[in-house]
Structure 1
Amino acid sequence: MSTYLIDGGRPLDGSVAVHGAKNSVLPILAACLLAPGTCVIQNCPRLTDVEASLAILRRLGCKAERQGEAVVVDATAPTGWEVPDSLMREMRSSVIFLGAILGRMGQARLCAPGGCELGPRPIDLHLAAIRTLGGTVEEADGGLFCSGSLRGADIVLSLPSVGATENAMLAAVCAQGTTTITNAAREPEIVDLQGFLQTLGASVRGAGSSVVTVEGGRPLHGGAYTVMGDRIVAATYLSAAAAAGGSVEVTGVDWRTLSTVTAVLTEAGCQVTSGRDRIFLKAQGPLKGVRPIRTAPYPGFPTDAQAPVMAALAGGTGCTVFVENMFDSRYRHVDELIRMGADIRVEGRVAVVYGVNRLHGAAVAASDLRGGAALVVAALGARGRTTITGLHHMDRGYQALDRDLQTLGAGIRRV
């Protein structure tokens, strides 16, 4: 079992480039299944969730291999349409393969997905979209069997689910006719998926707005595409610099996708300046409490950034209220932060953080991906040594987190 050993209290300094976005590359890898040809995905991070996606593609009869920072997928002649339980349990995002498999193969069988336990995340919206497109869905024994010839339709999502929007887009590319997805999620990663689908020859427009239109049934082909930088990794590094102090430049990310996060860090007392593909943060002295932070669908404050930002503010001064509107169980990191001296009160979806000026080292355990990142942020700003276990959660979304932080002068090592 791997452990992080972190000696806190060292200001961070330097520049770090973020890797490709986990939340972009997973649906893009699923989309590779749609194209009868070879796809080259550049800036593809080395994450366990990516490896799980590649394993699924191989199981479906595709060739998938890594070549440096790129992944090459040949989906010329897929043979499978079933994803076994062993692969589905590795990540919840595996459900994104549903629309692609059904669209390409005409049928799909999946088991219930795995991933971080963040409370109920039903896939009802995914299935409703498939049914609207003319697919049939049978649910039995914890699994799904979908089949049918898809046709364009008007899909209205009851809430702007990222996964349901992506699954609907993938299925609609293979449907005959025009599909309109209303109340679509607006996240930048959906814009990235649209860009990749267009590279394959698909007609998709509107991503980034609440209405996405897909002209389905067009012939597709392989292509090369570069994945956007990971804005949540960037938010984590900015939070780490805010907690530890110092001056850090984060490159390879569009600052506009993080404006709500940088606004909070600025209000907390950091100096933040942004360029076309970079964000610079300077932090001196303890952070101040800020106005209530409410997570919301994009362009609101991202739920994935809630835990790292909370960890930074917990070691500051003043009071900050967090309201988690996206998931029911996204405060699992709070108990571990309390072990480090944090003063946080949780009731339902609300967490009230009272800054204690400085956290202290402790033995803590990560219970989910972003909560684990929050513990790293807290440890970097804390007094003394912190040991963090449960690193397999962070390996799902962070490539060589310790190495990147070491380049900034952090006292972190993995043993």
Structure 2
Amino acid sequence: MLAPLGRLWKLWMSIPLWLQILVGMVLGIGAGLALGDQATYLKPIGTLFVNTIKMLIVPLVFCSLIVGVTSMQDTARMGRIGFKSFGFYLGTTSIAISVGLLVGYIMKPGAGVHITAEHAVAKVQQAPSVMDTLINIVPTNPVAALANGQILQVIVFAVALGIALVLIGDHGKPAVRLFESLAEAMYKLTDMVMKGAPYGVFGLMAWVAGEYGIEMLMPLIKVIIAVYIGCILHVVGFYSLILKVFAGLCPLQFFKGISNAMAVAFTTSSSAGSLPASMKCASEYLGVNKKISSFVLPLGTTINMDGTALYQGVTALFVAQAFGIDLTWVDYLTIILTATLASIGTAGVPGAGLVMLTLVLTTVGLPLEGVALIAGIDRILDMARTVVNVSGDLVATTVIAKSENELDEEHYNADMEQSVLIAEQNEAAENSAAG
């Protein structure tokens, strides 16, 4: 009896996590429809998972942001290239989440769901002014901000502390190593918690399906459509505009050149895993000097989260609409600020999309039970948002290379076969000069 169960367990553990979560979602829906109101007894499994995610948020964001900022020491050495890269990535991230919010506002994927949550935070009747919002993001007591989970204040303090550690040079290195060690521990803990996601999603989806029936599934299809529409608009529309206006380059030629990297990003759902393909596209097809691409692309893998930010906008509005919570314009501003600032340090975290979603939901007082609704379709959304992330890295690399006169436009405008030939000739010339 135990041997078949052991083999079944080994088979289960060999399945990719995203597929386990999807299976957990399907089984949870089935259990909820079968059990009806009795499915409430399964909800504590999901609540336990939500609590473990809450446990991660503050230390994960704090440590990873400090590590993200202190890794920018290359920015000082690279001078204006580093500042251009940093500004470009943060600027496009804020635009991306605005696009996501706009798409979510227009399409209203969560309208008509009407889910209630025990821990939903009541929205304040009187919205604070912009000045109050900006003043309040600076903590008067950083320890209290950490203890109370004031996410924006934690982000601002972490960024400020990271900058200070860079500025004091060698004196800051012991502290940087400490935070790097803590960040690695938090990444591992996040990985451990995410292994429990299939069971947490099972419990919450069983409760939702038992309480609200099969109707709640239709909005998930609208979420997928909304995220993909937003991603297409951002890549084809916004990135094309940047290439044309700021670099005077043909967008069609650019997308031909990065098609391989986009395919790798879509299939692997990993910005870091797509980095070799991105480096190859930049040098072989776009004509970007390796001095630029070798710095800007890895930096983008660390801090550029355009696709994830766009996803945050759509899914945050979905959760708000599903739970019947009206967001004020200050909430929208807070979502933009949170996702943009958090993008500095959380891009390399396993399960970054879901972790960042819990961060955004917490910041504006939305119930974290909404994470379970998104988790089952997260892999489908992850494929699209990774394509946006990788495309954004390559747009930044190309535009910055053009501004530094490090872009070979003849190479850029050549067809694919000619591009490879030019790249080989350039590499041979560099090797000859080095020899």
Q: Mark yes or no: TM-score above 0.5.
A: no
Higher RCO (CA 8 Å, separation ≥ 6 residues): 2
TM-score by length of 2: 0.21
The structure richer in strand per residue is 1
The structure richer in helix per residue is 2
